Amino acid sequence: MTDLTKFYINGQWVDPIGDSKLLDVINPATERPAGTVALGSSADVDAAVIAARHAFEGWSSSTVDDRIALIGAILGEYQKRADDLAAAVTTEMGAPAGLAAAAQVPIGMAHLATAAESLKTFSFSEDRGTSRIVKEPIGVCGFITPWNWPLNQVMCKVAPALATGCTMILKPSEVAPFSAAIVAEIFDAAGVPAGVFNLVNGDGPGVGSALSAHPNIDMISFTGSTRAGVEVAKSAAPSVKRVAQELGGKSPNILLDDASLAKNVKAGVAAMMVNSGQSCNAPSRMLVPSHRLDEVAAAAAEAAAPLTVGDPTTGVRLGPVVSEAQFEKIQGLIERAIADGAKPIVGGAGRPDGLDTGYYVKPTVFTNVTNDMEIARTEIFGPVLVVIGYDSVDEAIKIGNDTEYGLAGYVSGEDLEQVRYVGSKLRAGSITLNSASIDPTAPFGGYKRSGNGREWSDYAFDEFLEVKSLMGFGA
């Protein structure tokens, strides 16, 4: 059992201010408590903001070399705790142990390394005529992060904030707080100055809203659902703070007519099912030529067959989804899709055979789907893929863009010029061509209701910087 009853504020582990409710953290594989977490309040947020505000004067004046050295120290401590981090992620949100060790933990390291490397060449000033344009840290930042890729989403905010000289308060998901507590221990061991990084656990109403509305927080960065992102923006509006958001997605995966279906359908199914489908950029709508729908259905069924589901501490491909509420939401969407006429060629409603305990969902692939169905328009956040036919490339692009979201898109085909053309026409912030690997040096973020601002790479730095013009500086 892991009991998180203290918060990390001003370089120390401290008790919550006043009475604090304890929340059970449920292991989704067992449906039993794996520990507890204290839920903070606005008073705890106030204490963290005071610490961050006090630390800002010193940290904002640190040199680039100072920041590179500190991020390097953090990276060293992070690597020492890699096994602990992976185990925490598996326990708190159900990621298979192999995925936690091979992807969940390393992506956090990648953001730290990218920030340190980007700092070496990033320019914080430039001269234009007799004016000097400078970029200065925005100030105290509030971070609200989700449970699905916890280390990725913490580090892609914290690393650029540290690199640009900001101080911060982190509220990780109360559903999955264990890995964030280890991150705080890592920062402490690395010698992060007191008050630069602070951690306050809590839920949205108790801590998230307090961060968003706080008049002495200069910037709020939120990752989560579009619905919650709207509430964060509303809370932030009266103080006119900067708001950056990485929100939902319903991303198209367009397989062009010359694409190898044997290869690309298999890749598309596998990519959809990673992390039990709990990724905001999951390729959840597979768009294929209508005359090849039967061929695609057969290939998808074959691709899904070896996807094992079960205890995430073993060698399975899919663990559980994160919670009972998430499980029930996914089951409802599957059941309504079937009622609407969608055909599950694999999977379907209910738990996989033999898994009566744990929030396990069958890897499911639907055909006979049109883009106006709920199953094709709603972000499911589970291992559910829909296959939709198109009759021309222009129609594929139209269907791909026919969504309120715009986080990601995927295009595969043999004609590279056509692949590039289709990718250029998709209204989304991150487009993957021919199954290219994730690139932490490329910016990540959304169009439309998928958010605003960019994370990852040196593009993330600008989210944490104010621009000042010194006119007459060179006169």
- Active-site positions? 246, 280
- Residues 51, 196 contacting (CB under 8 angstroms): no
- C-alpha count within 13 angstroms, C-beta hemisphere, residue 86: 19
CA distance 362 to 354: 12
CA distance 210 to 334: 36
CA distance 28 to 34: 9
CA distance 210 to 253: 38
* Phi, psi dihedrals of residue 310, rounded to the nearest 5°: 165, -155
CA distance 161 to 137: 8
Environment class of 93 (CB within 10 Å of its CB; exposed 0-12, middle 13-18, buried 19+):
buried
- Residues 281, 260 contacting (CB under 8 angstroms): no
